[in-house]
Amino acid sequence: MLADMAESSPTAAGTPGSATDEAGLLARLRAGDDAAYEELVVRYAPQLLTVIRRYLPEEHDAQDALQEAFLSVFKAIERFQGDSSLATWLHRIAVNSALMRLRTRRRRPEKAIEDLLPRFAEDGHRADPRAVWSIRPDEASVNRELRQMVRAAIDELPESYRTILLLRDIEERTTEETADLLKLSPANVKTRLHRARQALRELLDSRLGETAR
């Protein structure tokens, strides 16, 4: 459901052509057709940039990661076996490029995740209870305003937690894949994911709870 709410399905990024179109483009790319490379960039760059911006909100970082992603694509196109669609393969390269950019750039101070988590009184009850809200999945998938709200809330999470949430709940990567990509232990990934989900729920409660009053 979160993937629908955030408009972020892993296979949704970059589906502008049919399988036949992709096969033809792929054949031209492998033949070294310069026009095909230009077509690839024009066709897929907007979708891939959207994906990368989730991990790299600052535009210059996102643009650099996009260029690096296409360089990786051009170098690896001969090794693409067609086990997935071209769009899905490009998407995964874009995500990997964004993660590499995160690892190599200068680390910025993060807001403490504790500042975003729910607070509880000594008796175990919420210290600041919110109004109850609920949204049916069919409403969530078509509600543009809600999707924007979810994306904005995800962007407020500290980077190290946002990245794990994106990989696990949006990209739908496994715990083990996420741990491998981020060089973390699976236990660490599970802990951070739990806290990221709590913080995201708290952020959404503060916004959507108001509409339920």
Query: Cα dihedral sign for 7, 22, 16, 58?
Result: positive
Q: What is the pTM of this model?
A: 0.75
Q: List, in order, residues 6 or more apart from 133 with CB less than 8 Å away.
A: 205, 208, 209, 211, 212
SS3 137: helix
Final residue in a domain of this structure, among 104, 129, 161: 104
Residues 116 and 137: their CA atoms lie apart, in Å, by 25
Domain range enclosing 121: 113-211
Residue 207 confidence (pLDDT):
76
User: Model confidence at 22, in pLDDT bands (50, 70, 90)?
Assistant: confident
Final residue in a domain of this structure, among 76, 104, 132: 104
Asked whether residue 69 carries a pLDDT value surpassing 80, the answer given is: yes
Shared domain check, 54 and 119? no
Which domain CATH number covers 23?
1.10.1740.10
How many Cβ atoms from other residues are within 10 Å of residue 47's Cβ? 18
Shared domain check, 194 and 162? yes
For residue 3, is it within any domain?
A: no
Final residue in a domain of this structure, among 82, 104, 126: 104
Residues 114 and 180: their CA atoms lie apart, in Å, by 25
Which domain CATH number covers 165?
1.10.10.10
Shared domain check, 99 and 117? no
Q: List, in order, residues 6 or more apart from 174 with CB less than 8 Å away.
A: none
pLDDT digits (tens, 9 = 90+) for 118-173: 776 565 555 566 555 555 555 555 577 788 888 899 999 999 999 999 999 999 99
For residue 125, is it within any domain?
A: yes
Q: Count structural domains, the chain.
A: 2
Shared domain check, 125 and 99? no
| Burial call 110-129: b when 16+ CB within 10 Å, e when fewer | eeebeebeeeeeeeeeeeee
